[in-house]
Structure 1
Amino acid sequence: MNSRTPSLITAVLASSGVVVALMQTIILPLLPLLPGITGAPPADAGWAVTATLLSGAICTPLFGRAGDMYGKRRVLLLSLLFLIAGSVVCTAGTHLPALIAGRLLQGVGLAVTPLAISILRDELPPGRVASAVALMSATIGIGAAVGLPIAAVVVQYASWRALFWACAVAGLAVFALIRWIVPESPVRSPGRFDIPGAAGLSAFLVCLLLAISKGPSWGLTAPPTLGLAAFALATLAWWIRRELRVPEPLVDLRTATRPAALVAHLVALFIGFAFYANTLATAQLVQEPASTGYGLELSIVAAGLCLLPGGLCLALLSPVSARITDRKGPRTAVALASAVIAVGYVVRFFTSHELWTVIVGATVVAIGSGLAYSALPMLIMRAVPVTETAAANGQNVLMRMIGQAASSAAATAVLAHHTAGGRPTLHAYLLVFLIAASVAVAALATALAAPRRSPAPVPATA
């Protein structure tokens, strides 16, 4: 291996993470326009965001398991093919079902990040793993920093369909680069797929997110809401019972409930919720008309630029997070990150009337998210054997995406329920910030409860 190969592998895999983040965030500037494009009510149009997170949450553990079994590079390339196909389908999405179908296919691409992290662990020298993993985790910020302003400019001056064509082209480019440069990981773990487990997880998530997103409009005590919630809980109980009994589960709950791993997964759930609420609410808040009494009536381009400082900070802080993780441990890095996010939401709660304070609050939340996302993979990799790296990172990203999906559904429901004159009230946005701040405090408490030293992972056998 020549001296440039690790850097090249890292750069190529990081570029795939940027494309995935780009796919995930380009829809945000479109959210205020989707009801007009598709003819759907705002609460239903929000599923263009939630659908991607839902399919990612379902497919990530499946693809993580497939990567451990059949080769991480091979499965990563398959994930990119789904992303490309979904992008093409979205270009025809003038009706909401077609757009949601395309976004479901795109969501499979969210499995790219945990697979890429696992390849980095397998291929890079030990001394370079921490910084490379931190960079890979920070690609969500790089993608948002690049994607949101570009998406806003394209929507305002070209066509919203061009967004999805650009995503398809970028996906093809990184597909070719990975085939050419990234080697296949030699680490394998034999097994088989848990299809009933995947079906149970899918049913639980769909019912839970439907209850969250439609509950305010149906009524929190209405029979459909209560029925979906009860079915979701019953399905979850059955799924946990089954996953603990089968020899090769979709999610190894015994591994996932090791103290260090459990903390990493719970924090990923909370951080995912808090991070996405910031991005989702800010993109809409600054575009609200001045007639609302609080709206800044910015253009779609200006709305994207408001999130640019936070995205850049999230990306640039990955080396800082790696340094904190090396010196103080991932537990300290994650706790610090959660505290920063909570402080950011306090700023947002009290200062959402002026543009510069909105940008400052959103940037502080993004800084905390970047610190957390860069530290979480190292926390999880210190808790599991090397043969379970892809599956464990898949579980962690699964929890992050469940948090993001719940955040998307909850924020959409709150903003659609508290309205005046057909627009969300300022109270609705402040309620979103308050909920997200509470979740960030829960992440802080969870991180502080983590063991100071992770148990030594079982070494991989030849």
Structure 2
Amino acid sequence: MAPAGGGDTDNVRSDQNGLVMVLAFGGIVVSLSQTLVIPLLGMLPAILDTSAANAAWVVTVTLLAGAVAGPLMGRLGDLYPKKYILIACTAVMVAGSILCALSSSLWPMLFGRALQGVGIGVVPIGIATMREVLPPARLGPAISMMSSSLGVGGALGLPAAAALAQYGDWQWMFWGSAVLGLGIIVLMGVRLRVMPAGKPDGSLDLIGAFGLAVGLIALLLAVSKGADWGWTSPVTLGSFIVAALAFPLWGRWVLRHPSPIVDLRVAARRPVLLTNIASIMMGMGLYAQLLVMPQVLQLPVETGHGLGQSMVAMGLWTAPGGLAMMAVAPLSGRLISTRGPKFTLILGALVVASGYVFGLFLLDSTWGVMLAGIVTSGGVGLAYGAMPALIMASVPTSEMGSANSVNALMRSIGTTASAALIGVVLTQTSMDFEGLFVPTEAGFRIGLVIGCGVALLAAAVAATIPPPWVEKAAASLPAREN
């Protein structure tokens, strides 16, 4: 027989394990929905009866919706029970998946993809939920697993979507996403408990949410579409100007609001601020390889530097990299518990940099590309588990959902900036191949060097993050008299 209380302990541990698995699975499903359309990009103009430029918005709109909805969903998770917000985020993603599956023209597809983007709020709110429920000893590994779900979703989604696009009906990928989302909703309803939520004033700052949305949309549009529109075009410059005007006005508003959508005073604390800056760098470090490696794999061998793989084969060669993010989650958790999240973030950034160095020497073989992707993604997995841990050690419980959502937003800004920068490099170094302009080997290598550089910069920024107790001690000191 189990000792007294042993059965209760086992039940608690089982409940905790179930919660972690449900939340991590939810993260995988919503991140999978983000990458579904990538193999479809070449087919979308014909599917939606539109131009290639218009079809590109199918990817962009999901990024914009996720960036805008993330802080809003995070704040809702701080104000109301997180279980309900998690279910609502997933339900919106399911509705978007169904709409995409039924779409045969551009606008319904764009609206559906925007709804799918809202689902990404599951990840930061899930991390905040773990902070409320799990004991400290289990928190590090659980956060690492939740953070790595972003990579696993992409790793599984890319080859699966490529296979469906090549051998089946494209609608199946959206129907599959909807079915998985419904399953997650059921599991959340059964496994998650309704925890009391802190309500600073019981209200949501709608004006602040609108101002943040205007600023983010203007900034991300300018960064992500500047290469297509022209960096000096009126639309691009106008978007930058709108962002430059919107953010100061928004900041002035939220600093005066009793329950702001994002607490800028908390965000300005050195541990939080420096972690978010490092997160931008890590987002760039993650996305650089996603722009370089798949193209190297798929370019024809006749170019002299392509590896001539099919769409499905490309997905399979890149999948181990995403799975590596999940594989390192237990290690990341142990390092966070034993050496601290700062050490883990620095180590992860250095591993990412080494992966890009490997890529510079192994770019001429499929196995080499896969190995470089595994090392780089493993480093991202270490870093992505550490960043939420650093944030949560530095913010009050009532701000966890919002703070984690802002951190996720910083990573999104990093990936957007990386896409713009690497895109310009590959375009400017392209060559004519049988009437088509394709990236050169030099362009790919420059992209890898950029990825290495931003990872090293992330490590340097992370090295300056003070321990939370130092910041708290400094804040408690009396103001010095003049």
Is the pair's TM-score, using the shorter chain for normalization, greater than 0.5?
yes
Q: Where does residue 100 of structure 1 map in the other structure?
A: 110
2:166 is aligned to 156
Quick check: 276-285 or 173-182, which moved more? 276-285
| 1:137 equivalenced with 2:137 (yes/no) | no
Q: Distance in 2 between matches of 1:115 and 1:87?
A: 21
State whether residues 297 and 308 of structure 2, in contact with CA within 8 Å, keep that contact through their aligned partners in structure 1: yes
1:272 matched to 2:283 = yes
Which of 350, 359, 362 is matched with 2:373 structurally?
A: 362
1:418–1:425 Cα contact (<8 Å) kept: yes
Asked if 2 retains the 8 angstrom alpha-carbon contact of 1:114 and 1:393, the reply is: yes
Counterpart among 233, 251, 255 of residue 262 in structure 2 = 251
Please give the alpha-carbon distance, in whole angstroms, between the structure 2 residues aligned to 1:32 and 1:417. 22
Residue type at the aligned position of 1:225:
T
How far does residue 416 in structure 1 lie from its aligned partner after superposition?
Answer: 5.5
Q: Does residue 345 of the first structure (1) align with residue 356 of the second (2)?
A: yes
Q: Secondary structure of 2:41's match?
A: helix
How many angstroms apart in 2 are the aligned matches of 1:423 and 1:42? 16
Q: Which of 436, 440, 448 is the aligned partner of 1:433?
A: 448
Query: Any conservation in 2 of the 1:209–1:409 contact (CA below 8 Å)?
Result: no
Match of residue 212, structure 1, among 223, 233, 236: 223
> Which residue in the other structure is 1:72 paired with?
82
Number of equivalent positions: 458
- Indicate whether 1:63 and 2:73 are aligned: yes
| Contact kept? 1:60, 1:394, Cα under 8 Å | yes
The aligned counterpart of 2:64 is 54
Q: How far apart are 1:94 and its partner, in Å?
A: 4.2
Judged with a 3 Å threshold, the aligned counterparts in structure 2 of structure 1 residues 164 and 452 are, in CA distance, closer, same or farther, namely same
Q: Name 1:309's counterpart in structure 2.
A: 320
Check conservation: 1:46, 1:408, Cα contact below 8 A.
no
1:422 and 2:433 are equivalent in the alignment: no
Q: Which position in structure 2 is the counterpart of 1:334?
A: 345
- Say if 1:287 and 1:297, in contact at 8 Å, map to a contact too: yes
Distance 1:88 1:151 in 2: 16
SS of the counterpart of 1:307? helix
For residue 374 of structure 1, report the CA deviation from its aligned partner: 1.1
SS in 2 for 1:128: helix
Check 1:142–1:41 CA distance in 2 against 1; reply closer, same or farther (3 A cut).
same
Identical-pair percentage: 40
Q: Which runs of 4+ in 1 moved over 6 A?
A: none
For residues 313 and 41 of structure 1, do their structure 2 counterparts lie closer, same or farther at Cα, with a shift above 3 Å needed? same
2:78 and 2:399 in contact (8 A); partners too:
yes
Pick from 225, 238, 243: which aligns with 2:249? Answer: 238
The Cα shift of 1:291 comes to 4.2
Report the Cα offset of residue 361 of structure 1. 1.9
Name structure 2 gaps, 5 residues minimum.
1-7, 474-482
What do you get for the CA RMSD once the two structures are aligned?
2.4
**C-alpha displacement at 1:116, in angstroms?**
1.0
With the length of structure 1 as denominator, give the TM-score of the two structures: 0.92
Q: Kindly indicate whether the alpha-carbon contact (under 8 Å) linking 1:214 and 1:413 is maintained by their aligned counterparts in 2.
A: no
Structure whose alpha-carbon radius of gyration is higher: 2
Aligned with 1:286: secondary structure? helix
* Deviation by residue 1:28-74 (Cα, 9 ceiling, x = unmatched): 33334444544656555443333222211111111111111111000
Distance change in 2, residues 1:22/1:217 (3 Å) = closer
How many angstroms apart in 2 are the aligned matches of 1:288 and 1:270?
Answer: 28
Deviation of 1:322 after TM superposition, in Å, equals: 1.2
Measure the CA separation in 2 of the matches of 1:210 and 1:410: 14
Between 1:386-395 and 1:365-374, the stretch displaced more is: 386-395
2:403 corresponding residue in structure 1:
392
1:9 equivalenced with 2:24 (yes/no):
no
State the shift of 1:137 in Å: 1.2
Q: Say which SS state the counterpart of residue 383 (structure 1) adopts.
A: coil
* Match 1:178 to one of 185, 188, 194: 188
State the 1:152 CA deviation: 2.0
Q: Distance in 2 between matches of 1:239 and 1:417?
A: 36
Q: 1:306 to 1:210 in 2, by over 3 A?
A: same
Q: Cα offset for 1:261? A: 1.1
Tell me, in whole angstroms, the C-alpha distance in 1 between the residues paired with 2:109 and 2:291.
Answer: 18
Note the C-alpha offset of 1:402: 2.4
Q: Which region of structure 1 is more displaced relative to structure 2, 219-228 or 266-275? A: 219-228
Give the deviation of 1:161 after TM superposition. Answer: 1.4
Query: Does residue 88 of the first structure (1) align with residue 98 of the second (2)?
Result: yes
Summarize the Cα distance change of 1:423–1:38 in structure 2 as closer, same or farther, 3 Å threshold: farther
Mean Cα deviation higher: 226-235 or 328-337: 226-235
| Contact map agreement 2:36 2:158 (CA 8 A) in 1 | yes
> Contact between 2:393 and 2:468, CA under 8 Å: does it hold in 1?
no
**Separation in 2, partners of 1:413, 1:196:** 36
Q: Summarize the alignment of residues 224-235 of structure 1 with structure 2, pairs less than 5 Å apart.
A: 224-235=235-246
Deviation at 1:187, TM superposition (A): 3.5
Is 2:299 the partner of 1:288? yes
Correspondent of 2:461 among 419, 424, 446: 446
Evaluate the alpha carbon distance shift between residue 84 and residue 331 of structure 1 in structure 2; reply closer, same or farther with a 3 A threshold: same
> Partners in 1 of 2:268 and 2:50 — Cα distance?
41
- Indicate which of 27, 31, 46 corresponds to 2:41: 31
| Deviations, residues 242-278 of structure 1 (Å, cap 9, x unaligned) | 2223222211111011111112212222212221232
